[in-house]
Amino acid sequence: MELPHRPPVPPVPPLALTIAGHDPSSGAGITADLQVFAAHGIFGTSVVTALTVQSTLGVDAISPVAAPLFRQALNHLQNDLPPAGVKIGMLGSSEILQETLRYLESIAPLDGSISQIPIVLDPVMRSSSGAGLLDEAGMEALRFGVLRAVNWITPNWPELAILSGLPVSSLLEAEAAADSLGTHYPHLYVVVTGGDQSSPVDLLRLPRGEFHTFPGDHIQTTSTHGTGCAFSSALLSRIILGDSPVLAVQRAKDYVAQAIRSAPRIGHGRGPLNLLWPLTKA
Rounded to an integer, the average pLDDT of 189-210 is 90
For the 15-275 domain, the top CATH level (class) is alpha beta
pTM recorded for the entire structure: 0.92
Residue 10: is its pLDDT beyond 80?
Answer: no
Q: At what angle do helices 94-107 and 67-80 cross, to 10 degrees?
A: 20
Q: Give the tens place of pLDDT for each residue, 212-256.
A: 999 988 888 999 999 999 999 999 999 999 999 999 999 999 999
| Rounded Cα–Cα distance for residues 42 and 233 (Å) | 11
Confidence category of residue 134, pLDDT binned at 50, 70, 90: low
Q: Rounded distance, CA 107 to CA 119, Å? A: 10
pLDDT for the residue 260: 95
Q: What is the DSSP string of 44-84?
A: EEEEEEEEEEEETTEEEEEEEPPHHHHHHHHHHHHHH---S
- Rounded Cα–Cα distance for residues 62 and 48 (Å): 12
- pLDDT of 2 reads 59
Q: What's the pLDDT score for residue 273?
A: 96
Non-local CB neighbours of 214 within 8 Å, separated by 6+ positions: 201, 202, 203, 204, 249, 250, 253
Contact 218, 199 (CB under 8 A): yes
pLDDT tens readout for residues 31-64: 999 999 999 999 999 999 999 999 999 889 999 9
Mean pLDDT of the chain: 90
Report d(CA 84, CA 4) in Å as an integer.
36
Binned at pLDDT 50, 70 and 90, residue 4 comes out as low
Q: What was the pLDDT predicted at 124?
A: 83
How close are the terminal C-alpha atoms of the chain, in Å? 42
Q: Of the candidates 68, 58, 24, 31, which has an alpha carbon nearest to the alpha carbon of residue 46? A: 31
- Give the residue with greater pLDDT, 128 vs 153: 153
**Angle of helix 227-240 relative to helix 29-39, nearest 10 degrees?**
40
DSSP state of 169: S
DSSP 205-237: E-TTS-EEEEE-PPP--S--BTHHHHHHHHHHH
**Strand partners for 66:** none
